[in-house]
Amino acid sequence: MKWLQLAGFLILSVGGGFLIGSGNRPDELYQGLVKPWFSPPDWVFAPAWTLIYVLIAVAGWRALRRGNRPALVAWVLQLALNFLWSPIFFSAHAVLPALLVILALLVSILVFLARVGTRDPVAFWCFVPYAMWVSYAAALNGAIWWLNP
């Protein structure tokens, strides 16, 4: 049963991320934007997000298995905000609203980290790379907004 739960979290995180990502890809408008010097090559995003979505799934599964309802609420919120960002940024081309969403996403990630804290070090450390990546992505989003008035 526990492996089925983990499979469900993986399908939701990795599968959902793949569906959102494949339906909201960088287009010509995005390619024409001025990007900051610290913008990575496009090929970096797919492998980075795939690994991060696996870690997100493991952390959520662990919160469920441990009955950590406050952490699970933060987990659901962060995933919803995560899935919301790409359509806003890439499809709607709404850079400032996307920045607000990614900042809210970062807050929800930090709330999850606080709620698992020392009670589940594995879930905590699964979310640390995610927090770092989203911080970096928020800086990219903010720089793109700043450089493209």
Amino acid at 25: R
pLDDT tens digits, residue range 21-46?
Answer: 888 888 888 889 999 999 999 899 99
Q: Distance between CA 81 and CA 76 in Å, rounded?
A: 9
Residue 9 identity (one-letter amino acid): F
> How far is CA 104 from each of CA 17, 100, 108, rounded to the nearest angstrom?
18, 6, 6
What are 51-83's pLDDT values in tens digits? 999 999 999 999 999 999 999 999 999 999 999
Write out the residue range of the structural domain in which residue 17 sits.
2-147
**Distance (Å, rounded) from C-alpha 99 to C-alpha 49?**
18
Please state the pTM of the whole predicted model. Answer: 0.94
Number of compact structural domains in the chain: 1
CATH at 30: 1.20.1260
